[in-house]
Amino acid sequence: MAQLVDETAQTKSLVLEVPGWAGHRAGQHVDVRLTAEDGYQAQRSYSIASAPEDNYIVLTVERLADGEVSPYLTDVLGPGDPLELRGPIGGYFVWEEELGGPLLLIGGGSGVVPLRSMLRHYFAVGSSIPLRVLYSARSLADVIYREELTRMTEDSGLDIRFTLTRQQPAGWRGYARRIDVPLLAEVAFPSDEDPLVYICGPTAFVEAAAQGLVGLGHDPSKIRTERFGPTGG
């Protein structure tokens, strides 16, 4: 590990230097394996937050209080410490420009992590595919990559909509509720534009977003989903 970056109160980014890394595709993940002195092993999957073009591999890890792996990664592991990885892994929840668009990225909580890799890749390749992002978080303080997303909006015109489901700052002009069909109808590209959609988040969030879009007439085969749950530890 080269560096540890605080993202929010609950999440940190692990910046990793990986010798012999063969490169990855935006949206892929890695398995992190921890081995105790007695040989006990625990393994978890984490999405890669960095783009293929970046110099480092970045994993953004949400600290789960009763987790077996995440507290070690966020609180114990320090710069210079080694980490055992397997990957890159996955071919389904992957975005590449030749897949076309328009492109709609929907993230709930730390489900934004693989979408951040896709966003960085999108801008790195100078894509002109129409793009929209919908990001659901509990509060503004829980928004991961807030500065970077704001910069993408200001510098590159990124069309990103936020919904803050539990707590909103005074004067908040974004959405303030869980994702539902009317919200999706406002944010999503119309189904007749046949957008490609990536949804990542907790299982219930992914189900709500995917079923909502199918109900609005979106082609289920153009909706790619990745669910994670409290078992992520």
Partner 1 sequence: MEALDGNAIAGALLAAFGHEMTMASGTCATCGQTNMLAALRVYLRAPGAVARCPVCGEVALVLIEARGVVCVDVRGLAALDYESP
Q: Is the peptide bond before 82 cis (omega within 30 degrees of 0)?
A: no
Q: In which residue are the tokens 């490169």 written?
A: 23
Binding mask 128-147 for partner 1 (x = CB under 8 A): --------------------
Q: Is 212 in the site for partner 1 (CB under 8 A)?
A: no
Q: Looking at 7-159, which runs of residues are DSSP E strands?
A: 11-16, 29-35, 41-47, 57-62, 84-89, 103-108, 131-137
Does residue 231 touch partner 1 according to CB under 8 A?
yes
Q: How far apart are CA 214 and CA 191, in angstroms?
A: 9
**Span interacting with partner 1, options 74-82, 90-98, 155-163, 167-175, rule CB under 8 A:** 90-98
151 contact partners, CB below 8 Å, separation of at least 6:
none
For partner 1 (CB under 8 A), the number of binding residues is: 23
Residues in 36-75 that interact with partner 1 by CB under 8 A: 43, 45
CB of 35 to partner 1, least distance (A): 11
Q: Determine if 90 is a binding residue for partner 1 (CB under 8 A).
A: yes
Span between the terminal Cα atoms of the chain, in Å: 20
Answer yes or no whether residue 226 interacts with partner 1 by CB under 8 A. Answer: yes
Q: Contact positions toward partner 1, by CB under 8 A? A: 29-31, 43, 45, 86-87, 89-93, 202-204, 224-231
